[in-house]
Structure 1
Amino acid sequence: MRVVTEAGHELRLAAHLGRRGRTRFIRGRFASAGAEAPPLTFALKRLRSGDLLVVVCNRPAPAALNAYRKRWAIECLFGDAKTRGLNLEDTRLTCPRKLDLLMGLVALAIAWTARCAITHIWPSAPRRGPHGYFSKSWFRTGFDNLRRLLRTDPLKAVQEWHRIPSRAPQNPRVV
């Protein structure tokens, strides 16, 4: 992708970013959009894997990266609820009351799974594979552990349920 900066320089996005771990913010427009296109903010970050993360928006760049981070956490949650565990998309429910109940049960299952993952892994993080990514996600680790506990020791699974806080922490932080 080529970008024309506010100073009028046309460069490839990757040319704006040097070494790994560095973040840059550029104000400009896509080269193919023409001179009359409104300026955009480009947030560029080189990931540990060497890939280039580009977030483009019409808002200030630090806010764009924070919004993308939250959005990505939500996407992971949807993936866990749908294809990677609870198969929510396989339901054929159309009644709003039944869908409300199902969504509540899915939320409880995800909370229970998270609690099992924390107990099973804590204080370390899941192991990383040779590719650098987690070999199992937090959700998959907790889900597998919860299924095992429900099959072998249901009382211990219920103990994990009781460890879920009854209210949210006062100063929650998204990591």
Structure 2
Amino acid sequence: DDDSALVFGGIAGGHFYNGVVVGDTQRVTNDVWRLLLSDGAGDLDAVWQRVAIRGPSPPPRFDHTAVRFAQSMLVYGGCAGLDAYADVWLLQPSGYLRAMWGVDYYVWTQLKRSTPAGTGIFPPPEADDANATAAPPPLPPALDVQDGPRPPGTTVHGQQHPGGGWAP
């Protein structure tokens, strides 16, 4: 069990005042951070750590969907300026070096479509997606509607289903 959260990307710098970004230092990032939580002497302690990444990373973005499971994280969509993405990236710890030397770095892999381009269902580029990762216990077999249609942005038996959002 890992009492931490992973955070990817976003906008850094500048600040909001009455709904408007103020300052000229704003930039879109593709950084990964881990928030470590520990319960020490009745107090909840939080420590931020920058995650070391090896190899290629997704382009910087904000308003994306990021879902963590186990030690990995999936990132879908988002945008940078007027560019919207429909890509999916998987962030995983490097198991080989971690097991040998305790080195803690992660590797990104861009996931490809399982169907030829232009066929099958694939979401359009979106930003401001909604997602949920907590799953209720499965329904009894007679009531299980797992194969039926689902509203966007729901989780079914631990599977993440992003939905909603806007396309710039």
Answer with 1 or 2: which has the greater Rg: 1
Structure with more relative contact order (C-alpha pairs < 8 Å, separation 6 or more): 2
- The structure whose residues are more often strand, as a share, is 2
TM range (shorter): under 0.3
- The structure whose residues are more often helix, as a share, is 1
